Amino acid sequence: MKISIFGLGYVGAVSVGCLAARGHQIVGVDVNPTKTAFIARGESPVIEAKIGDLIAKAVREGRLTGTTDGPAAVAVTDLAFVCVGTPSQQNGNLDLTYVRAVCEEIGSALKARKDFFVVVMRSTVLPGTTRDVVIPLLERASGKKAGVDFGVCFNPEFLREGTAVDDFFNPPKTVIGATDERSRKTLAGLYDGIDAPMIHTDIEIAEMVKYADNAWHALKVGFGNEMGAIAKALGIDGHKVMDIFCQDTKLNISPKYLKPGFSFGGSCLPKDLRALNYRARRLDLELPILTSVIPSNERHTSSGLRMIAEQGHRRIGVLGLSFKAGTDDLRESPMVNVVENLIGKGYDVRIFDRNVKLAGLMGSNKSYLLNHIPHIYNLVVDSIDAVMDHAETVVIGNNDPSHDEVFEKVKNGQVIVDFARIGNRTSDGGQYHGICW
């Protein structure tokens, strides 16, 4: 395929070499003539393992050229990758100067195109940028309609400096968001033969995935460093601790606990975090990540309470009081906190949890509940139907399978606030509200 790649920085330079190595005809475009001169000489404009050899071979075999003339590149190619920089502004927002300039250049060049052309955003941009900035600029400059006369895709890159070539050919995943099926298929075809999950999704989700990845990687680095700091202060080898930690691929290095939902609770997580932070303070250590976890959790609980209050109802039904389904453990359950706050603000609450039998509670579990909700016996009912008969707003507190019955029983005027995403539903802005979806 004939491909133009706008921006010969780190991502663009790796892309021109790797795509040319896959047999495509590539035109590298950059406003900086020094970078295109590197390409003309068969040299890489960036320092990165293996890419120099790929570029040299591609130029030697006539599959890669460089130019500062963007419109000329669009004229001789069928698809353009946008790989320009999106640097930070002082306030943390992205500077889209280069993105805007390239989109206007490509859009103007599309005026003369009679056939379908695909523009692929590869630059990292905040969710909504492709839809709200890129597409309008292309449409305005070209006088054409996205998804009809030309296509737009968002295709995030997952390249690590130092291993970018290997990452290109062996990515963890390939993610494509597109305005239309024709563009989606065209772009997906470039990755034929690459052994990685191919994920087709909405443009905004594709944009957000890159930020989820990078935020998680940053958090992992910070977490590892903080665990190492407290381990060293205690005379423990932090690497040995984390070597064992990383062997757990069932819970630690896994999808567990990473899906958006409600706050954590139970007898372990809050208690152990508090103990670890207490010891860190005694050792005069500042651990900003670990000390922020519980406040973040509490803010999430507060967000849930606000969501309930925003429905404007006084009669509230709660399904699921324990901190997770399949247990009667109420210790530090965020739903106990929710109910306590609702009662304190004068709401009329009814509760059902098929795993919580008040007569069977004992010890610290019973003490915790009665300390927070002394009149709990007056609030608990014996069925989902009883909750539904009482409530104007129904709150789903955990993902017990029986809670799916709610959607068959809900009446006109009733609202569901879901903290557990029962049935993989999406907020509709009316009768159903999910806390993170």
Q: Which residues are annotated as a binding site for substrate?
A: 158-161, 210, 257-261, 265, 324
| DSSP one-letter code for 266 | S
CA distance 7 to 28: 7
What phi-psi label fits residue 42: left (phi over 0), alpha (psi between -120 and 50 degrees) or beta? Answer: left
Angle, CA of 164, 167 and 170, to the nearest 5°: 155
Full 3-state SS string of 11-30:
HHHHHHHHHHHCCCEEEEEC
Q: Which amino acid is at 302?
A: S
Q: Pairing mode, if any, of strands 150-154 and 174-178?
A: antiparallel
246 noted as active-site residue: no
DSSP-assigned beta bridge partners for residue 150 = 117, 146
Cite the DSSP H helix spans in 234-256: 238-247
For residue 248, give every residue at least 6 positions away whose Cβ sits within 8 Å of its Cβ, in sequence order, or none. Answer: 254
The candidate with the shortest Cα–Cα distance to 314, out of 275, 350, 274, 367, is 350
Token digits of residue 233: 């202060």
For residues 290 and 226, the answer to whether their CB atoms sit within 8 Å is: yes
CB atoms within 10 A of CB 228: 16
Sign of CA dihedral 368, 372, 374, 376: negative
Binding-site sequence positions: 30, 35, 86, 124, 158-161, 210, 257-261, 265, 271, 324, 331
Phi, psi (degrees; rounded to nearest 5) at 238: -60, -30
- Can you count the helices (H) and strands (E) in the chain? 17, 13
Q: Pairing mode, if any, of strands 174-178 and 415-418?
A: unpaired
Q: Pairing mode, if any, of strands 117-121 and 79-82?
A: parallel
**SS3 category, 336:** helix
Q: Which amino acid is at 402?
A: S
Where in the sequence numbering do the catalytic residues fall? 268
